[in-house]
Amino acid sequence: MCWWRPASSCSRSFSTEFCPASKPHLIAGGRIAFRLSKRTDRSHGFACGPSRLPDAEEDVLSPDAQIYMTSSALTKLLHALRGTRPVHPLLVWSLLLGGGDIVAAQAPSSVGEPAEVDRRSVAVLRFADPSGSTADDWVGAGIAETLISELERLGTLGVVDATATIDRDPVTVGRRLGAGWVILGTIQRTGDEVQIIARLVDVQSGATRRTVQIEGAQDEIFALQDQLLVELGPTFESVARVAATAPLAPALRAAAEPGIVSSPTPPNEGAPAPAAALLAPAVVPPGTQPDIGAAPLAVAEAGLVPGRPTVRPTRAETAPDIDGRLDDAAWRNAATLTEFTQQAPLEGAPATEDTEVYITYDNEHIYFGFYVHYSDPSIMRANRVDRDTASMDDLMTIYIDTFLDQQRAYDFDVNAFNVQGDGIVTSSGNRRGGAIPYADRSWDALFHSATQIVDDGYTAEMAIPFKSLRYPQRGPGVPHQWGFQIVREIKSKNEENAVWAPMSRDVAGFHRQMGLMQGMTDFSTSRNLEFLPTFTAIQFGSLDTSTGGFVNQDTDPQAGLNIKYGVTSNLTADVTFNPDFSQIESDRPQIEINRRFPLFFSELRPFFVEGAEIFDFPGPVTFVHTRTIVDPTWGAKLTGKAGRFAVGVLTAEDEAPGNLEDLTDARFGETAQNFIGRVKYDVYSESHLGAIFTDREFLDSSSKLGGIDGSFRLSQTMSTNFRMIGSQHRDLDGLERTGHVYDVSVRDNGRNLSWFAAAYEISPDFDTEVGFVRRVDQRHIVSNLSYRWWPETWLINWGPRVSYGRNWNFDGVLDDENAGLRLNFDFAKSIRFSASADRDMERFGGLNFFKTEYGVSGGVSSNRALDINVSYDRGDQIFFDIDNPFLGNGSRSRVSATLRPFARFSSRVGVNTSRLVDTRGLQGDVFNVEIYRAQSVLTFTDRLLMRNITEYNTFNKDLDFNILFTYRVNAGTVFYFGYDDHYRQADQLEGDLDGDGFDDRLFFTTDLRRTNRAIFTKLRYLFRY
């Protein structure tokens, strides 16, 4: 004889007898399973075994019932019994057993196949808190019980018995129960307010037929429940009329219907048949919902977190016409997704707006249809801007991890005005708190899309050629399995992100939380072949500093050719001849005054940025920085994946080192040869081992680098990285130097607590001419610790962050010590604020300087027409004069505002300042720099736009003006016409007028004089076969 009591203490003890084989055991979701015997204890008036409850009209359980439940729920029971309304017997029964999640009861008989769907029946699921909290489960169960009573009173629909097969989506639940309709919902408290949302789901189509939202005070919960019944009443009657015309029990296909998020086989073979009258789904923590429609082993082997939803796109007999209207026959049978939850601001809560996504494919393309609903269309944010620049708009974005390796994913997005965007999201870009990572927008793909504005939002269609993707090769009939996620952004609602595959802040990774797209077969086997000829013409003019006159040069026409070939579906070769590396986008302004170390400028040239993620891995040194290849005559690149190996090889010839005026110089006319090789092996999800080798050869000089690196995910939130890199450098004089970089780090990004610790050293002689090294001779430790609270009210999240670091040189001298504190606040209405304080020691010129600095920053993005961002720092600052360094008082500020008075025009204006005051009283202002910049874009049509950049620097007295017209047909075919003009205050210009080798002032006026001018055109046309 064995006995068990709930953990809850209770003045009325009760017990249940078990046979020895029925010892309670823990099962998935933290629930407890046990089997009751036929003996019960009735000594206190409560049935504790499988028998009748007081006043029950029917048996609730059969004698040998299996019980699934969670831990103690005495408090909830008391709440339920204290109420003035009748309490359903099953609710009392489950609460007595500690079933705070009424996970239901099952009879032992097994059911091997799903029940047939009866359109005249409805299953009611318990209303759950989307945050995962169980505090209000008793309320959710009561609401469901009341709905059942109301349905039974109406008598027009039958209420289907419940089942313990609860870890499924509503469509699957309905199919398992044979119900034609499912009612489910959420209940969520915010302070003293309660929000109840109920949805009626059509099991046959998977569509949500009706959504009702009720809000009110917590102490009026029963009045809110009555109001919910009033709102749903007409829906019940409407459903009954529809059901009356339906067959009693239409046959259910053995396999899940295409596109329906469901499971073709029962989750547990031989699962017991339903016997309870109330279905109550277990509350699963956000981001860990069960796998739906995929084999569990497939999910585990793929490295995804458990519980990923699955979609099976249908094959289209006729391709849809991409015109933005969802009226093509292909969409009628397409896979349909309508269930979206919030990733932010309220993690796990239902999306505040309805979204419909349709997916189908053929041999050449995968197609997506979107119906993006708005209850108030006036809140929709959309602007007519250039490609890849709609980040402040409401976007519909799809992410596809074609190799299902959690290393990289493609990003395709569109806004309501059909502004396309695309990019690459790598696992290194994962952000804290489960946030959606930023994509590398330098990658461009050819895909087709169109949109239509409708009364309640917009519709969109998207066709992505398989040729634009890399994916594993599959034989005939062998299905593909890809990672897949959909994100809908609603900026006006506290920057809401609604996702298809639920995400959790308890998992520090984006790729592992994607869903699954599977079942697609037999893609076209033709290889992607692209020819991209480019024609440019530019006419330069510049100031001759030897005469003070302005000289115009002859127009310089050039032609080049890029060829891209898909060696396999997952390996791509690129070759370029006489490439055009003219930079259409200008560098971001940076203040270069009083800088101890060089500034970093990102690569912007297309040939180098496409596929660059294989060469990029974070650390204290940028080992591959292709801006060191200044003027290439040709280049070749091979990137892609073979099995678990990702490879990247790049070689290019650079004319820049030999571009000299002195014909007698030995370097004149010579070229440098560059080689970069990189390989990565995927060990497991978001984990790899890698190796790298780079070389630059110029005459007798060389710069070689090689080493290994690794990144490993240790848990849901923790990861570690290491790098061991060596360099060998020989200059033109034959002097050889060797150096190294060793780096190791550990990071833990949790929902609340996050921390980071790293140690690295860079030897004094480390050097690379293919990468970027800001500083050498370091032995550095860095660390930070932060905590984040998530009230998710008017204050969405907030928390402190502390950091500490020390740095010694290789002689053992302490060069730097840093300690900092920062407070971050994210408010509703897209308002952000932070404050910081830092205390540092920095050694320069043999002196130790102790500095204290304070800073504040913030931003507001509450409406479509205006964004504002500001930052200000003030405190001690070193003047880096090697002969006379001193500590002054410095300040830095940055203010920017983006104005969008109407959809076709946007202007970003800002000022960037830096000032240093000599506190010794000797110089006053050592420097005071202000950079004013305005970047405006005017869109004439979907293809034609004009961009203007105007910038003024008060320190150099420079005025720069740039205007660019762009006519873009697609990602590959584009025409540019631009004009670039630079001026400087005349008395700031110097030159050697008399040839004595010393610079003289050219002018003695303060008016502006032109220093450079350029007029250029560029035509690029893509041929794809």
**Which pLDDT belongs to residue 584?**
53
pTM of the model: 0.68
**What are the two backbone dihedrals, phi and then psi, of residue 822, each rounded to the nearest 5 degrees?**
-140, 140
Res. 620 pLDDT band, cuts 50 70 90: confident
**What are the two backbone dihedrals, phi and then psi, of residue 428, each rounded to the nearest 5 degrees?**
-75, -10
Res. 53 pLDDT band, cuts 50 70 90: very low
**Which pLDDT belongs to residue 66?**
37
Residue 239 CB partners (closer than 8 Å, separation 6+) = 122, 157, 181, 200, 209
Residue spans per domain, the chain: 2-205+216-249+268-274, 296-518, 598-744+755-767
Confidence check: pLDDT of 279 > 60: no
Confidence check: pLDDT of 676 > 80: yes
pLDDT tens for 139-195 read 888 888 778 777 777 665 666 544 333 445 677 777 777 788 888 888 887 777 888
Task: Single out the residue of 98, 92, 72 nearest to residue 80, CA to CA.
Answer: 92
pLDDT tens for 979-1019 read 999 999 988 888 777 777 777 777 888 888 899 999 999 99
Rounded (5°) CA angle 408-413-417: 165
pLDDT tens for 196-246 read 888 888 777 666 767 787 888 877 887 788 778 777 776 665 565 545 444
Confidence check: pLDDT of 55 > 90: no
The lowest-confidence range among 1-10, 154-163, 823-832 is: 1-10
Express as a percent the part of the chain with pLDDT over 90.
44
**Which pLDDT belongs to residue 739?**
95
**Which pLDDT belongs to residue 104?**
33
Confidence check: pLDDT of 311 > 50: yes
What are the C-alpha distances in Å from 173 to residues 180, 208, 874? Answer: 10, 15, 60
Residue 282 CB partners (closer than 8 Å, separation 6+) = 29, 31, 70, 101, 103, 166, 167
Q: 642: how many CB neighbours lie within 10 A of its CB?
A: 13
Q: What number is the average pLDDT over the span 695-709?
A: 94
Q: How many CA atoms lie within 13 A of 196 on its CB side?
A: 29
Confidence check: pLDDT of 300 > 60: no
DSSP characters for 64-118?
A: T-EEEE-S--HHHHHHHHHSSS---HHHHHHHHTT-SS---EEEEEE--SPPPPE
Q: What number is the average pLDDT over the span 805-832?
A: 95
Residue 327 CB partners (closer than 8 Å, separation 6+) = none
Confidence check: pLDDT of 728 > 70: yes
**Which pLDDT belongs to residue 497?**
94
Among 197-201, 666-670, 711-715, 744-748, name the most confident range.
Answer: 744-748
Express as a percent the part of the chain with pLDDT over 70.
75
Q: What number is the average pLDDT over the span 415-422?
A: 95
**Which pLDDT belongs to residue 429?**
59
Judge whether 511 and 401 are in contact, CB under 8 Å: yes
Mean model confidence pLDDT for the chain = 78
Q: 27: how many CB neighbours lie within 10 A of its CB?
A: 11
Rounded (5°) CA angle 498-502-503: 95
The lowest-confidence range among 27-36, 562-571, 834-843 is: 27-36
Residue 964 CB partners (closer than 8 Å, separation 6+) = 584, 946, 947, 948, 976, 977, 978, 979
Rounded (5°) CA angle 9-12-16: 85
The lowest-confidence range among 422-426, 520-524, 601-605, 1007-1011 is: 601-605
Confidence check: pLDDT of 650 > 80: yes
The lowest-confidence range among 203-217, 691-705, 803-817 is: 203-217
**Which pLDDT belongs to residue 205?**
64
**Which pLDDT belongs to residue 594?**
59
Task: Classify each residue of 486-502 as buried b or exposed e, where b means 16 or more C-beta atoms within 10 Å of its C-beta.
Answer: bbbbbbbbbbbbbbbbb
Q: Which fold has domain 296-518?
A: Immunoglobulin-like (2.60.40)
Confidence check: pLDDT of 753 > 80: yes
The lowest-confidence range among 267-276, 369-378, 788-797, 936-945 is: 267-276
**Which pLDDT belongs to residue 581?**
57
Residue 329 buriedness (CB in 10 A; 0-12 / 13-18 / 19+): exposed
Res. 134 pLDDT band, cuts 50 70 90: confident
279 vs 722, which has greater pLDDT? Answer: 722
Q: What is the CA radius of gyration of the chain?
A: 33
Q: What number is the average pLDDT over the span 273-290?
A: 31
**Which pLDDT belongs to residue 665?**
86
Res. 301 pLDDT band, cuts 50 70 90: low
Q: 1024: how many CB neighbours lie within 10 A of its CB?
A: 15
Res. 431 pLDDT band, cuts 50 70 90: low
**Which pLDDT belongs to residue 964?**
93
pLDDT tens for 324-354 read 999 999 999 899 999 999 998 888 889 999 9
Q: How far is CA 558 from the centre of its chain?
A: 40
**Which pLDDT belongs to residue 45?**
30
Confidence check: pLDDT of 558 > 70: yes
Two tokens at 456? 């309640």
**Which pLDDT belongs to residue 377?**
93
Judge whether 582 and 538 are in contact, CB under 8 Å: yes
Q: What number is the average pLDDT over the span 453-458?
A: 95
Eight-state DSSP code of residue 600: P
Q: What number is the average pLDDT over the span 79-106?
A: 39
Residue 253 CB partners (closer than 8 Å, separation 6+) = none
Terminal CA-CA length for the chain? 77
Confidence check: pLDDT of 413 > 60: yes
Beta-bridge mates of residue 908: 898, 935
Confidence check: pLDDT of 698 > 90: yes
Give the residue ranges of DSSP H helices in 187-255. Answer: 221-244
